[in-house]
Each structure stands twice: as structure tokens, then as C-alpha cells.
Structure 1
Amino acid sequence: MTGCDCAGTARSRRRVLGGIAAVAAGGLAGCLGDDGDDEPEPTQPIALGDGATCDVCGMVIEEHFGPAGQLYFADGEPADRDGPARFDSIVELATYLEERTRRGWELRAAFVTDYSSVDYDLEERNGTTYVSSHVEASAFADATDCSYVVDSAVEGAMGPDYVPFSREADAAAFADEHGGDVRSWDGL
């Protein structure tokens, strides 16, 4: 007759059942979108090509001059799609952000065209100078780290705009050449 190690079998069953319960809880948390970590998913800038439109004016972003921007909010806003709110003007982005903040939306990340990192062109049309648009993901930088030229003679998609630079010296040089003042993100 063989001896039964009932205590060892019970421990093994408990381990197996405990493991199954842990896997089930992890799977359920994944389905519910809670991985047990309160940190939000990381956000990255996306390309604003392929017909992406501005959430304020509805214009196709890549078809117009000037800096573009993106805003990611907590709680999946804007709720009508995945990804950030999109803009063809930093002035529109700033206005939209201010309005949404008053409604209680929480900003997770903001990205703007970084004119320190792109080869931009200036084009004159009918006496107005415009700065080129750049909508590829690599053209964007963290908006909160940029310096902005405000009230310059250079315009964007919707007229006078804020022209962002990741290097303050680039913003100062742009303002020296084209007028305007240099401000931080908080100064907008």
C-alpha cells in the first residue's frame, strides 16, 4: 500500500487554485482597463496628416500654414475618438485648453510644432508672411517646455499665432527678426 501525502496534495491544489485566481484577477483588471497602476498610459505626439482636421475650425491641418498642436486629456477626452485633440493653430489650442479646463477636463500632455527642430520656410503672400506647417510626429515637442513668439509679423493658419521653439535662443532670434515677444507656456 502506498502512503498518501494528503497534506502535500492539499498544498499543491491551493497553489494551483491561487495561481488561477491571480491570473483571472489580472485578466479581469486588464479587461476593465486597470492594471493596478494609477499612472496613465504614456502619451506621444502623433502625425497630423492624412486629412486630420482641427477640432476648433474643422480645417485640414496639413493644408494650411503655421504651427499645429495636440492635447491629451485624462478620462479619454475628447470622447469621440482615440488620440489627442488636434489643432492647426496654437492660439486655437490655447483657447480650447482654457475652455476645457474650466469644464473640469484634466490635461495629460500637450505637443506643439517645434520650430527649433524643423527646417521651416517663410512664405509671403499678399503682403503677409506665413510660417510653414509640419505635421509629422517627429516635428512635435512638449508644449510646456517650449518658448513662444507672440505678436510677430509671421502668421499661421488662422492669422496671428504663437510660434513655438524648444530652444529659447531660437525663439529670441525669431522675435528679433520678425518682431514679437517671447513667452513661456504659462505666459500664453
Structure 2
Amino acid sequence: MTADGWSRRRFLAGGAVAAALAGCLGDDDGEEELPAEPIDLTEGQACDVCGMVIADHYGPAGQLFYADGKPDDRDGPAWFDSVAELVASHEGRRERGWELREGFVTDYSTVDYDLLERDDGGDGGDGENEGETYISSHASSEAFAEVTAVEYVVGSDVEGAMGEDYLPFSDSEEAAAFAEEHGGDVLSWEELPSPNA
């Protein structure tokens, strides 16, 4: 075989490899999106549901990445100061046909969290919430875990930004111990009840 024959074969083989790689990696139109990574929610981002600044309030934070570049007003995820609000919002978006790519929530198994009792009511001083126990907020990117990789303590006496919340733990034993001490049930992502029910 001539040198030209080998060169032509190498060219054709190289083209086939390049085409295969392009198919695996997706095209520039974003048909096959790369996995999402959690972002920091510590830079003044406001919850998409209630408008409160996420890093300024108690409880778990969350973020949801949807297909087709939603939400439309920015690159990146929808973000929340409460897992209960995240679940309620996701239900509504799913009913409108939004497809969830990936979601992340604060993982209390990987952070040094605090339980804090409010003594000022946190509501203008009328004492309505006085004596309630809240869990600290952790909204940096390394504090998040994938929504289906954690278990949630639901119905405990420990509150988040908007009151009763779903508290995520990646360690099943830690979730069970938290529920034993503070009440509530341990549920998976698929079992979470609708906060709107």
C-alpha cells in the first residue's frame, strides 16, 4: 500500500473519531448538557419564591437546574431559602412541563450546623416566634448535595427560614438520630409531601 493510502485511511479514521467525540460531548446548541454543579448562594441571592436574601436567614438552602436554560431571567439555577419552598416551586414548574436536570440542597451531614433559639421573635419583637429552635444556614457550594442523595427530616420541632422545613442529611443514621431527638419522620426525595397540601 502506498503512503497516500495510509494517509487517506488515517484521515478518515481521524474524522470518524472526531465525529464520535462530537456526538458524545454534544453540540454547541446544548443538546447534551454537562452535569450541573452547585453554586454559592452567599452573594445576596434572593429566594425565587419569597424574595428573602438566602444567606441572611436560617435553614437549608436549595437550587434547581432545569433543562432548556430555565429560569429564563438568568444563567444557572432557580434558588431557594427553604427546601419546603423548593419542593412547592418544583411541583408547579413540573406541572408546566419544566424538566429537572439536577437539584442540590444543604447537606447537614457535611457541615457544622448550630441549633439556635430565637429570643426576639424575629418578627418585630412581638414574641410570636420566641422560643422556636432554628437550624443554621449553609449556602456555600461545598455545603450542597444532590437532592436524591439525601434523606429529609420532615415535621421536626426545628425550623428553617419559613418555619417548618425539610432538613436534609446524606448520612441515614444522622437523619434518624436528628428525628429521634427533635421529632419528625425521615423521608426520601420521592416521598416528600407537598407543602401546599
Which band: TM-score by shorter chain? 0.7 to 0.9
Q: 1:185 — aligned with what? A: 189
Q: 2:144 — aligned with what? A: 140
1:64 pairs, out of 40, 57, 67, with: 57
The yes-or-no answer on 1:89 pairing with 2:82 is yes
Residue 33 of structure 1 deviates from its aligned partner by: 2.3
Residue 41 of structure 1 deviates from its aligned partner by: 1.8
Q: For 1:173, what is the secondary structure of its paired residue?
A: helix
Q: 1:33 — aligned with what? A: 29
1:54 pairs, out of 31, 47, 53, with: 47
Distance 2:116 2:80 in 1: 21
- TM-score for both structures, normalised by structure 2: 0.78
Distance 1:39 1:74 in 2: 10
Q: 2:121 — aligned with what? A: none
Q: In the alignment, residue 122 of structure 1 is paired with which amino acid?
A: L
Number of matched pairs: 166
Distance 2:36 2:131 in 1: 39
Unmatched runs of 5 consecutive residues or more in structure 2: 119-129, 193-197
Runs (4+) of structure 1 moved beyond 2 Å? 30-34
- TM-score for both structures, normalised by structure 1: 0.82
Residue 32 of structure 1 deviates from its aligned partner by: 4.7
1:110 pairs, out of 103, 108, 111, with: 103
Percent of aligned pairs with the same amino acid: 61
Q: In the alignment, residue 171 of structure 1 is paired with which amino acid?
A: A
Where in structure 2 are the equivalents of 1:150-165 lying within 5 Å?
A: 150-165=154-169
Question: Could you give the per-residue CA deviations for residues 141-183 of structure 1, whole angstroms, max 9, x where no partner exists?
Answer: 0111110000000000000000000111110000011000000
Q: In the alignment, residue 81 of structure 1 is paired with which amino acid?
A: R
Distance 2:172 2:116 in 1: 23
Change (3 A) 1:104 1:169: same
Q: For 1:119, what is the secondary structure of its paired residue?
A: coil
Larger Rg: 1
Distance 2:85 2:181 in 1: 24
Distance 1:31 1:41 in 2: 11
Q: 1:5 — aligned with what? A: none
Question: Could you give the per-residue CA deviations for residues 58-110 of structure 1, whole angstroms, max 9, x where no partner exists?
Answer: 10000000000000000000010011000000000000110000000000001
Distance 1:166 1:185 in 2: 12
